[in-house]
């Protein structure tokens, strides 16, 4: 791969010229990955292109209100033939596609579209815009650039991307451009109330049971500026919860008064530890995550560690305290 950086116009031209496109989601897909991918596929199909979503993990139930969530996704093992383009939206590095990696090679070339400052520029062509609050914002501009139709369904998907990755437009990554795109998507048919109800106002009982147990593990360091919680497989089982239910729990650690960095340590099925970090204003948790082989943004980042969960807690908390 030649690690070529390209701009919006060049990325748009690649998508416009491709007729058959594979869109890869990262493992444990979030609202930005799902919303931007579904929105792109819907619009491109309306242009007569063949486009499908490829991913390892299922779409979380909270996003089942989005059009195409069950129609566009194809298990990576079932993807056959030659495709014009393998495209990655919201994927910080190639390993994030997980077991679907063999399917990437079915595309004649690769395009990486992302907004994470820690992105490794792993594709043959990379359109990286760190000023964007969400990849859904970049997807909107690409669709506009190529003259693709954006109907109410596509607008709903892209708006969901923006809402989820900005925490309901609360994070400091939210800029004027984000609100301008959101306004256009609302004008095109996205309904903010519907998205808010599905994403923020509807909680399965299993998630509330998990949250109750996770909060009992809450600890603070001696400065009172670092807080963390631990979710083991046993805790998940006791709550009757799944990995999807863990989404957003880390924010409760950061919400404690006086805390600058909140951390969630989650034991994965294969015995590794997934670490989610959130900060308020001063600590670049993206740099912390990158030091452990992960990545993300200055205020929201993550990494995966192959060690006992107790060791992961000790090492990450220590690393955070160094940069406080």
62 and 25 within one domain: yes
212 and 228 within one domain: yes
110 and 71 within one domain: yes
- At residue 1, does pLDDT exceed 60? no
Strands 107-114, 125-128: pairing kind? parallel
For residue 54 the two structure tokens come to 């490829």
194 and 257 within one domain: no
**CA 113, 114, 119 angle in degrees (round to 5)?**
115
239 and 181 within one domain: no
Write out the residue range of the structural domain in which residue 229 sits.
Answer: 205-323
23 and 133 within one domain: yes
The last residue of one of the domains, among 166, 199, 232, is 199
The last residue of one of the domains, among 176, 199, 222, is 199
DSSP 28: S
Q: What is the CATH number of the domain that holds 62?
A: 3.90.1640.10
Cα gap 79→75, rounded to integer Å? 7
Burial class (CB in 10 A: 0-12, 13-18, 19+), 19: middle
58 and 93 within one domain: yes
Q: Which of 1-15, 78-92, 189-203 has the lowest mean pLDDT?
A: 1-15
CB 35 within 8 A of CB 143: no
276 and 220 within one domain: yes
Q: Which residue has the tokens 């242009």?
A: 47
At residue 2, the pLDDT reads: 52
43 and 22 within one domain: yes
Q: How many structural domains is the chain composed of?
A: 2
Long-range contacts of 56-60 (CB under 8 A, 24+ apart): 56/27, 56/97, 56/98, 56/99, 56/100, 57/25, 57/27, 57/28, 57/29, 57/98, 59/29, 59/34, 60/29, 60/34, 60/244, 60/247
224 and 152 within one domain: no
Q: What is the CATH number of the domain that holds 258?
A: 3.10.310.30
The last residue of one of the domains, among 180, 199, 218, is 199
316 and 175 within one domain: no
Residue 168 confidence class, pLDDT cut points 50, 70, 90: very high
210 and 186 within one domain: no
Q: What is the pLDDT of residues 242-292, one digit of tens each?
A: 999 999 999 999 999 999 999 999 999 999 999 999 999 999 999 999 999
Q: What is the pLDDT of residues 111-133, one digit of tens each?
A: 999 999 999 999 999 999 999 99
């Amino acid at each position: 791969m030649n690690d070529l950086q390209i701009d919006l116009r060049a990325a748009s031209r690649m998508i416009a010229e491709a007729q058959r496109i594979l869109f890869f989601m990262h493992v444990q897909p979030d609202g930005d990955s799902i919303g931007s991918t579904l929105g792109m596929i819907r619009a491109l199909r309306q242009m007569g292109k063949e486009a499908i979503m490829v991913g390892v993990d299922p779409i979380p139930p909270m996003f089942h209100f989005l059009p195409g969530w069950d129609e566009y996704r194809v298990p990576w093992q079932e993807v056959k033939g030659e495709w014009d383009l393998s495209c990655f939206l919201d994927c910080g590095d190639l390993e994030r596609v997980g077991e679907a990696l063999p399917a990437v090679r079915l595309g004649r070339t690769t395009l990486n579209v992302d907004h994470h400052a820690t992105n490794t520029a792993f594709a043959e062509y990379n359109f990286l815009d760190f000023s964007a609050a969400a990849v859904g914002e970049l997807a909107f501009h690409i669709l506009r650039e190529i003259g693709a139709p954006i109907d109410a369904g596509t607008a709903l998907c892209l708006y969901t991307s923006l809402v989820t990755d900005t925490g309901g437009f609360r994070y400091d990554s939210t800029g004027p451009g984000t609100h301008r795109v959101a306004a256009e998507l609302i004008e095109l048919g996205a309904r903010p109330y519907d998205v808010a109800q599905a994403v923020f106002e509807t909680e399965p009982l299993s998630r509330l049971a998990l949250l109750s147990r996770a909060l009992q593990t809450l600890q603070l360091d001696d400065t009172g500026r670092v807080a963390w919680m631990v979710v083991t497989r046993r805790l998940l089982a006791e709550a009757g919860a799944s990995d999807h239910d863990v989404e957003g729990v880390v924010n409760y650690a950061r919400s404690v008064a006086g805390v600058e960095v909140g951390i969630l340590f989650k034991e994965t099925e294969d015995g590794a530890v997934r670490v989610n970090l959130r900060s308020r204003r001063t600590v670049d948790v993206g740099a912390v995550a990158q030091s452990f082989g992960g990545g993300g943004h200055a205020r929201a980042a993550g990494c995966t560690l192959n060690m006992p969960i107790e060791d992961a807690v000790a090492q990450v908390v220590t690393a955070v305290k160094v940069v406080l």
